[in-house]
Chains A and B, each alone.
Chain A
Amino acid sequence: MSGPLRVAVVYPDLLGTYGDGGNGLILTRRAEWRGHDAELLQAVSDRPLPGADIYCLGGGEDGPQVRAARTLIDDGTLVRRVADGAVVLAVCAGFQVVGRTFPGADGEPHEGVGLLDLVTVKGAGPRAVGEVVAEPVGVEDLPVLTGFENHGGRTTLGEGTVALGRVTAGIGNGAGGGGEGAVGGRVVGTYLHGPVLARNPALADRLLSWALHDAVLEPLDDSASEALREERLGALHRRRLRRRK
């Protein structure tokens, strides 16, 4: 690979409501800690999207979400780079944006970027808010996924699209079948924010490995993340035991 690994946080001015900018930071640090040259780009929406090896899209409010999708479609770089092998991590509103259609503030469908074959509509019930645990499905050899969701969308995956995980706690895609997120090629979408990679360093390393031409990555000191994972999974387990009593 020529030059540093480039990680772009896509439109932090539009899609950055839930601290999701942290995903870009985590990917960059984990590459640097292994001796790779890495560059973290904050790609704002009024400039052309820069070329990058990994694109991170975060959560956002309805209005800015529509604007982000329109701008990405007009810009065209994201679709081109993904066709050339770039990796994408799309969270919450960003997850909806990389699908085919998603609802705006009015509930009407808006065109998405179409990187993943999925459709999101506004859910009829209350927002899905709370801790999520999901058994990984769409990416092999990952430990259980943990995160926090906060969304009002219901996402249905197309025939050829695989869920990222199967929820054992929480709502996830919420369209029946218990799916959480989606995976298509090297594009990963999820409703887990928090940011998701802080609690799931193994997923971070998988994305990094893809971007580094399937490099085998040496382990890092993840004791802080491991302690957080244990605490979160344990807290949920304890709450369930209490409820059962």
Chain B
Amino acid sequence: MRARFASATTRAVNAASRRLGRGQGTVAGGRAGLRLDPKLLEHLSAGREVALVTGTNGKTTTTRLLTVALGATGDEVVSNETGSNMPAGHVAALAGSRATRVVLEVDEVYLPRVLTATTAVAVVLLNLSRDQLDRTNEVRMVAGRWRAALAAAPHTHVVANADDPLVAWGASVARDVHWVGAGLRWQLDAVGCPACEGRIEFTEGGWSCAGCGFARPETEVALVHSPQGLPSAAWADGRTHAIALMLPGRFNQANALMAAVAAEACGVDAIAALRAMEHVEEVAGRFTVRAFGEVRARLMLAKNPAGWDELLCLVAGSDAPLVVSINARVADGADPSWLWDVPYERLAGRAVVATGDRFRDLSVRLHYAGVAHTTEPDPVRAVAQAADGTGAIVDVIGNYTAFHDLLEAPE
């Protein structure tokens, strides 16, 4: 009874908040519902098949790809698509739908709580690396909390990236783990062994600790590339399938493979799942090409050094004008020191415009990286400045709120 009232309140507050034009109306309603019934997430999850997706990078995309894959069966699927990935956002998504299949993006720190509340069928663990250190916890601590939560969830299928030692540490206590060789470009946060504080050595396609022998688990399936660079999924049982996505980048191939294995844990064939993902063009605005007046720009999001590392790889080789936009608002973390962990040196020789609330921090970083650049505090003007009347599509990489500022800026 209490749950039904709390759930109705969640919907009512969300509807009111949307009508008032105050955001997408997911967090306010969820909070109101949780105040009335602190166990609302438990109650709303009962009788549904919930899959959770967490990790530092790729959560939103993987959640979307898994939702598409499960939806291809014809079943209705509900997901927290607005990216509100804490319990208030989960409650809001669930209160608004009766779908029995559920895919939730979960903030890394909230995984234990959400896992307990939802008794999830499947959990996807993508990766763990430094992100907003002024706000969240150190990555080792997060891996340790995952470990405790997964040990207490014997009925959950865990889909884990075997190439990330911190993920492997968190997942290795779970009863049923599907290990995926999804790759890990950013390895700096994983050199200290999470098991013994020894040193992790990375080799071609593997890793191990010299101190305690903790090593990369045998994988069930891995992301592999042909000599021409074409990606495919290769299962240990001999199955293979080409991964053909509209979404660019190695990291999205990895996200798709993780989602496919999770789909299989939810009773959907992994290859059928990969096929269903082929048609996804953009996820929550990432890689959208949009116009600002005469100028067109491709919008990309990178929130932390690991994400930047992947995107700088993606834009290498292009000579499109580039705008980099950095904010340090609450959702970004107040401390942009991570700029010094990003290999901006790779942009030397490119035409770069620095913008965003913290363009001055970025400008100092680019100065020492030897990247000639101009500055323009206003992001939309920065895009025009970068295009310089050439008609070229401008590449824009922003961190979280910087990306959203441009995505939502008026034409």
Complexed CA–CA distance, A130 and B335 (Å): 8
Contact: B337 with A193, CB < 8 Å?
A: yes
Partner of A66, one of B191, B197, B367: B197
Contact: A61 with B140, CB < 8 Å?
A: yes
Contact: B337 with A228, CB < 8 Å?
A: no
Q: Looking at the complex, which of B17-25, B130-138, B220-228, B231-239 is the stretch in contact with chain A?
A: B130-138
Q: What is the distance, in angstroms, from B367's C-beta to the closest C-beta of chain A? A: 5
Complexed CA–CA distance, A225 and B134 (Å): 22
B151 within 8 A of A: no
In the complex, the 7 A-B pairs of residues with the closest C-beta atoms, listed nearest first:
A19-B340, A22-B340, A19-B337, A228-B360, A13-B191, A64-B192, A61-B138
A129 within 8 A of B: yes
Complexed CA–CA distance, A64 and B200 (Å): 12
Q: What is the distance, in angstroms, from B187's C-beta to the closest C-beta of chain A? A: 10
Contact: B199 with A45, CB < 8 Å?
A: yes
B255 within 8 A of A: no
| Residue ranges of A at the interface with B (Cβ–Cβ < 8 Å) | 12-14, 16-22, 25-26, 29, 45-46, 61-64, 66-67, 129-130, 148, 150, 193-195, 198-199, 224-225, 227-228, 231
B188 within 8 A of A: yes
Contact: B134 with A129, CB < 8 Å?
A: yes
Contact: B133 with A150, CB < 8 Å?
A: yes
A25/B368 contact (C-beta < 8 A), A18-B337, A45-B199 known: yes
CB neighbors of A among B338-366 (8 A): 338-341, 360-361, 363-365
Q: What is the distance, in angstroms, from B105's C-beta to the closest C-beta of chain A? A: 25
CB-CB under 8 A from B138, the residues of chain A are: 17, 61-62
Complexed CA–CA distance, A154 and B337 (Å): 22
Partner of B140, one of A16, A63, A130, A193: A63
Q: What is the distance, in angstroms, from B329's C-beta to the closest C-beta of chain A? A: 13
Contact: A13 with B192, CB < 8 Å?
A: yes
Contact: B364 with A198, CB < 8 Å?
A: yes
Complexed CA–CA distance, A51 and B338 (Å): 28
CB-CB under 8 A from A45, the residues of chain B are: 199
Complexed CA–CA distance, A63 and B365 (Å): 29
Contact: B199 with A224, CB < 8 Å?
A: no
CB neighbors of A among B117-148 (8 A): 130, 133-134, 138-141
Contact: A63 with B197, CB < 8 Å?
A: yes
Complexed CA–CA distance, A221 and B363 (Å): 13
B334 within 8 A of A: yes
CB-CB under 8 A from A22, the residues of chain B are: 337, 340, 365, 368
Q: What is the distance, in angstroms, from A180's C-beta to the closest C-beta of chain B? A: 17
A17/B363 contact (C-beta < 8 A), A63-B140, A63-B192 known: no
CB neighbors of A among B160-191 (8 A): 188, 191
CB-CB under 8 A from A198, the residues of chain B are: 340, 361, 364-365, 368
Chain B residue with the shortest CB-CB distance to A60: B192
For the complex with contacts A63-B140, A198-B368, A228-B363, 15 further pairs of A-B residues with Cβ separation under 8 Å are A12-B188, A14-B191, A14-B192, A16-B341, A18-B338, A19-B339, A19-B341, A21-B340, A22-B337, A45-B199, A130-B334, A148-B134, A150-B335, A198-B340, A225-B364
Chain B residue with the shortest CB-CB distance to A68: B192
Complexed CA–CA distance, A62 and B197 (Å): 10
Chain B residue with the shortest CB-CB distance to A147: B337
Q: What is the distance, in angstroms, from A38's C-beta to the closest C-beta of chain B? A: 13
Q: What is the distance, in angstroms, from B394's C-beta to the closest C-beta of chain A? A: 23
Contact: B133 with A18, CB < 8 Å?
A: yes
CB-CB under 8 A from B338, the residues of chain A are: 18-19
